[in-house]
């Protein structure tokens, strides 16, 4: 099995992998079978699509494990139901046409069904962070936006804020999602942050950038 990404299901003894054809496969930790349990596709499989490379750069489950999202290498975001229904393996929402700005990262927020996406600066030197509610009618899904983004996003549920990394290289900004404004920001590294992790108690975070770790209370 060749995989580009590997991520565990948050509740079940399952994990998912992706390949370079835009397919997400679900496997069981409890089985040594070489056959996946389920396969999902970011677009319908046909002769034309099988000849295209479609790399999935991000895959994330919500905390219940009943939905997951993917972001491909050109920033299209797709939302899936995690289901055992063999006939329902395409996205329930593909928001690339709505977003159309090249998502770099995304998260599910606080079991609420709301998704936050972030983008890096585009050709007009604009980046953004957007909140989406897909229970609303199509075309009215965006419920908040701020012109500040990056390529890493994470959430702090205890104070209703999200963290954006690399709005400028090595910088972290805290955004209040109720008002969609910047609470504070600081320089964590001199160069681009590669990854960011918040502790379970949400009292400190660890960042990694070009070979060094940084812990912030």
**Greatest Cα-to-Cα distance within the chain, rounded to the nearest angstrom:** 52
Residue 23 lies in a domain: yes
Examine the pLDDT at 155 and tell me if it is beyond 60.
Answer: yes
Interval 90-135: pLDDT, tens = 777 655 444 445 889 999 987 667 899 998 876 677 889 999 887 8
Count CB atoms within 10 A of the CB of residue 80.
23
Task: Give the percent of the chain with pLDDT over 70.
Answer: 83
CA distances from 51 to 21, 48, 54, 72, 130 (A): 8, 6, 10, 16, 33
Residue 28 lies in a domain: yes
Q: What kind and span of H or E run contains 164?
A: strand 161-165
Domain containing 61 equals 1-94
Instruction: Provide the whole-model pTM.
Output: 0.83
DSSP characters over 19-66: -TBSEEEEEETT---SS-SEEEESS---TTGGGS-B-EEEEEE-TTSS
Lowest mean pLDDT among 149-158, 192-201, 203-212: 203-212
Residue 55 lies in a domain: yes
Domain count, the chain: 1
Interval 41-68: pLDDT, tens = 888 776 665 667 788 999 999 989 999 9
């Amino acid at each position: 099995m060749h995989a580009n990404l590997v991520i565990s299901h948050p509740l079940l003894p399952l994990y998912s992998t992706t390949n370079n054809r835009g397919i997400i496969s679900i496997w069981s930790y409890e089985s040594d079978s070489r056959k996946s349990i389920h396969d999902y596709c970011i677009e319908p499989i046909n002769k034309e699509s099988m000849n295209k490379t479609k790399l999935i750069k991000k895959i994330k489950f919500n905390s219940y494990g009943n939905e997951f999202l993917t972001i491909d290498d050109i920033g299209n975001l797709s939302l899936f139901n995690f289901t055992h229904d063999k006939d329902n393996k395409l996205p329930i929402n593909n928001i690339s046409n709505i977003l159309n700005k090249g998502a770099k990262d995304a998260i599910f927020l606080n079991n609420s069904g709301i998704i936050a996406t972030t983008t890096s600066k585009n050709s007009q030197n604009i980046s953004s962070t957007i909140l989406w509610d897909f229970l609303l009618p199509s075309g009215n899904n965006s419920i908040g936006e701020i012109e500040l983004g990056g390529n890493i996003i994470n959430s702090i549920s205890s104070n209703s804020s999200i963290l954006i990394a690399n709005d400028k290289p090595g910088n972290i900004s805290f955004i209040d999602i109720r008002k969609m404004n910047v609470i504070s920001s600081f320089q964590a590294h001199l160069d681009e942050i590669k990854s960011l992790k918040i502790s379970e108690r949400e009292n400190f975070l660890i960042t990694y950038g070009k070979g060094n770790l940084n812990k912030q209370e």
